[in-house]
């Protein structure tokens, strides 16, 4: 699964997913077909990996896939039935914050119908509404 090899700090604050649209990474740069987010979301490394596996299996190792998002935010959680206080919990998983308009995946080197079907299957694994984009 994707996660940074090292970070400056082990834990980070929750923050907010600003109610803005993506300015960077909102266009197709590498592939001919893409999957674009339409809403705000927090996508985990497991969800990204599940989507990647679905795409690569459907393409049968043909074509080229680009993952345009990277889970670099550590999400902490306290154990069940633990009283409040006593510091912040341990890192449970890694996630990335996605704004509307952010390109999530790109594909090239396969036919249009295969690429769109693969991206549609990948969108089922993600917790955000998506849009299929063609160059």
7: three-class secondary structure by DSSP: coil
pLDDT in tens, the chain (135 residues): 899 999 999 999 999 988 889 999 999 999 999 999 999 999 999 999 999 999 999 999 899 999 999 999 999 999 999 999 999 999 999 999 999 999 999 999 999 999 999 999 999 999 999 999 998
Domains with residue ranges and CATH for the chain? 33-78+91-134 (3.90.1170.10)
User: Which of 109, 108, 107, 135 is closest to 123 using CA atoms?
Assistant: 107
User: Which of 61, 39, 36, 29 is closest to 122 using CA atoms?
Assistant: 36
pLDDT at 46: 97
């Amino acid at each position: 699964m994707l996660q940074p090899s090292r970070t400056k700090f082990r834990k980070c604050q929750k923050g907010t997913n600003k109610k803005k649209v993506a300015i960077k990474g909102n266009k197709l740069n590498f592939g001919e077909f893409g999957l674009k987010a339409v809403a705000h979301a927090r996508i985990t490394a497991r969800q990204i990996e599940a989507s990647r596996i679905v795409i690569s299996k459907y393409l049968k190792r043909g074509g080229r896939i680009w993952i345009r998002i990277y889970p670099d935010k550590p999400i902490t959680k306290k154990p069940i039935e633990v009283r409040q206080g006593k510091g912040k919990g341990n890192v449970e998983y890694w996630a990335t914050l996605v704004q509307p308009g952010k390109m999530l995946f790109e594909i090239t080197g396969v036919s249009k119908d295969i690429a769109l079907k693969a991206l549609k299957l990948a969108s089922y694994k993600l917790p955000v509404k998506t849009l299929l984009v063609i160059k």
